[in-house]
Amino acid sequence: MMAEFAATRTGAAQSPAPSSAAPQFEVVSIKPNQNAAGPMGAFELAGHRLPLPPVNGRLRMTATTASLLVQHAYNVKDFQLLGAPGWIHTERFDIDAIAADGTTFEQTRVMLQAMLADRFKLAVRRETRTLPVYELAAARGGMKIRPLKDGDCVTPVPGKKVGVPFGPLTECGGFRRQIVNPSPDRIDRIDALGLAMPAFVEMLSNEVGRTVVDTTSFAGLFNVRLEFAPDLPGFDTGPSSVRPSASVAPGLTLFTALQEQLGLRLVPAQGPVNVVVIDRVERPSEN
């Protein structure tokens, strides 16, 4: 896997093992899920990538992979995870963990690190490597993104999760991804209101599986509607009541859609990328 990146090592640092004084789950159950296998589909990933504070002191993840647990624990994406054996991307597990009431999202990350070290015998180190990236730049003819106007969205309620799967999109920072045309000519739509460029870059990075670096110098908030044919596995849910724009052709890649609809382009480049290198990981014993 490391050869695939043709990476240049620019400085390694061994991550310390979680301290015994760090917050840990009080009880953890890990069981293999025999009903699911293989890499996670796009919509599974979307569900599992939601924030992970325990609900009523309990954290449950069904049919998840060790890869995704490591990504959550160390706040990295799949393409930032190097040296992993194949099974951590395909074998599924059901996780049921109990934490103290009031456990925060960031505390959950530390708890997952401790759980992975204990039950999966995980040992990792953080490095910065020179890897392929994309630079987000204005397309020829200039950007077409729409700056946010007064009244376009409402300020979200503190503590409320941003992003709605159904219903009207009204909150600033809110986003929605829908299948608007099913396979074989699948088209997805991403809508967002009051989005900042760093959040948009993060969204694009998830789509293309590579770090995206903003070079547009656009500092304001803006709205997004982007329709394209995704290059991701997923689960079609049948025709939607929402229809794609008449100008969107089947097979329109994200790269082309960015240029035609938003006046933006992704330019291949090389740049520093923070990665997590797996030195050791084992399948957990069932309990």
Give a three-class secondary structure readout of 67-117: HHHHHHHHCCCHHHEECCCCHHHHEEEEEEEECCCCCCHHHHHHHHHHHHH
pLDDT of residue 40: 67
What pLDDT is recorded for position 180? Answer: 87
Number of H helices and E strands in the chain, helices first, is 7, 12
**Residue 131 class from Cβ within 10 Å (0-12 exposed, 13-18 middle, 19+ buried)?**
buried
Give the pLDDT score at 115: 94
Residues of the chain with pLDDT under 70: 1-21, 38-55, 157-168, 232-251
| pLDDT value, residue 9 | 37
**What is the C-alpha end-to-end distance of the chain, expressed in Å?**
31
Q: How far apart are CA 194 and CA 102, in angstroms?
A: 30
Distance CA 280, CA 139 (A): 43
Helix, coil or strand: residue 166: coil
SS3 helix, strand, coil % of the chain, rounded to 5?
A: 20, 35, 45
DSSP category for residue 20:
T
Sign of the Cα pseudo-torsion (207, 212, 216, 221, in order): positive
At 177 the three-state DSSP class reads: strand
Residue corresponding to tokens 């394209």 = 228
